[in-house]
Structure 1
Amino acid sequence: MSTTDRPASESGPEIDAENGPGTGRETGRDAIVRAARRAFTLRPYAEVTMRGIAADAGVSPSLIVKRFGSKEALFNTVADFRPAADALFAASPPALGRHLVLTMVRLRDRLRGDPLLRVVFSLGNEDERTLLRERFREQVTDRLAGLLTGPDPQLRAELIAGQLLGLGATLSLHRPDGAGGRTPPDRLADLYAPGLQRLIDGH
């Protein structure tokens, strides 16, 4: 599998005539990416089929080919963490802790799944897992480290990324009726953001 292809962006919904059965803001493309993310996370790459993704997304296989071209290109889209990072890091460092929590919850709602956890739970072969880890490090952890000032920015970035993965795992583990899912995002941020902010501040 090539690691040099630039994945297509997942950012923002599209408006077109091929939205498929998705409701509200979700488009056919959103549904395809969501189904592909689930498929590549739960099954090895070789076992994932375009037909299976199409059935899960409620679209035709030909629409997936039209939008993405190939299974490899679709995997590369799933392995792209940049759209999530763009949203997560769109705040100044003094406000970043709270922003991270609120944005994580909002992304989970919009994407109907966690934007980062696939790096942990992917069941692909070593090449696929390595690609996901490399992309995550480059697009999330290293990018965050570049935003931090003070000592040990790389270590702090890794710890912050771990905290975000922990938040996502906790919300996923206790869904659909866990306390986290019933708690307003602002309250989650009140409880979770201070620890993140201490790591961001570096003291």
Structure 2
Amino acid sequence: MSTADEPTSPATADTDRTVRREAGQPRTEGGEEGPETGRDAIIRAARRAFTLKPYAEVTMRGIAAAAGVSPSLIVKRFGTKEALFNTVVDFRPAAAELFSAPRPDLGRHLVLTMVDLRDRLRGDPLLRVVFSLGIEDERTLLRSRFREQVTDRLTAVLTGHDARLRAELIAGQLLGLGATLSLHRPDGATAHTTADRLADLYAPGIQHLVDEN
């Protein structure tokens, strides 16, 4: 993977504008960190950029514009584009929050935490494994990280028969929830209900897979 910025094509420029609009981050004076920018904004912008475009078409300049910071700040915080990519494809922080409840409460906790993470991250913490437009090596790395950091970790939490199969099905349920919440915004029913109501309806099916022996 090259770490240098490539020339920006018209298609890349259009995607960069999309990323900037959805990131919603204003540039601070001098491109330094302000209350609405910084590391989280950079990661959020990078996550969207690496999902929407192949790795080779993503530029540090475009990510900086989307995050409202200077390119030099990204270099200072992350070093290279490859290092930033490796941060973006790390599912461990989300997995740590998702799987932090005891098994009897895990189904409801998963739904509520997914909704909370989406709000805090301004995007789904898992869906990029499905929608990444990277080349085969990038998609393979992303899916390998997902299996290791999400599915394998969940398998270790479960007990009883078919733990691996149940973990894969639960991961699919979480991806389905994220896709549904994304597809039906801003006017769908899911946009006008509470996280608790979503958990009332969606969590029992997940909990059945958690409890199955």
Provide TM-score, normalisation by structure 1: 0.88
Residues 1:142 and 2:152 aligned together: yes
Identify the residue that residue 108 of structure 2 maps to in structure 1: 98
1:134-162: CA deviations, max 9, x gaps? 00000000000000001000000000000
> What is the identity, as a one-letter code, of the residue corresponding to 1:124?
G
Separation in 2, partners of 1:121, 1:188: 24
Residue identity matched to 2:51: T
2:85 paired residue number: 75
Question: What's the counterpart of residue 43 of structure 1?
Answer: 53
1:89 equivalent in alignment to 2:89: no
**Which structure has the larger Rg over C-alpha atoms?**
2
Is residue 2:78 matched to residue 1:62? Answer: no
In structure 1, C-alpha distance between the alignment counterparts of 2:159 and 2:69, rounded to whole Å: 46
Task: Say which is worse superposed, 114-123 or 179-188, in terms of deviation.
Answer: 179-188
* Code of the aligned partner of 1:162: G
Q: Which runs of 4+ in 1 moved over 6 A?
A: none
> Which residue identity is paired with 1:115?
P
Where do 1:122-201 residues align within 5 Å?
122-201=132-211
8 A Cα contact 1:39 1:48, kept in partner? yes
- The one-letter code matched in structure 2 to 1:80 is D
**How many angstroms does 1:21 deviate by?**
5.7
Q: CA RMSD in A?
A: 1.2
Where do 5+ consecutive residues of structure 2 fail to align?
Answer: 3-31
Letter in 2 for 1:151: H
Q: Distance in 1 between matches of 2:191 and 2:143?
A: 28
Output the CA distance in 2 between the equivalents of 1:55 and 1:149: 46
2:44 to 34, 37, 41: 34
Whole-Å Cα distance in 2 between the matches of residues 21 and 173 of structure 1? 30
Q: What is the CA distance between 1:19 and its match in structure 2? A: 3.0
Letter in 2 for 1:33: I
Unmatched segments (≥5 aa) in structure 1: 3-17
Give the paired residue count. 184
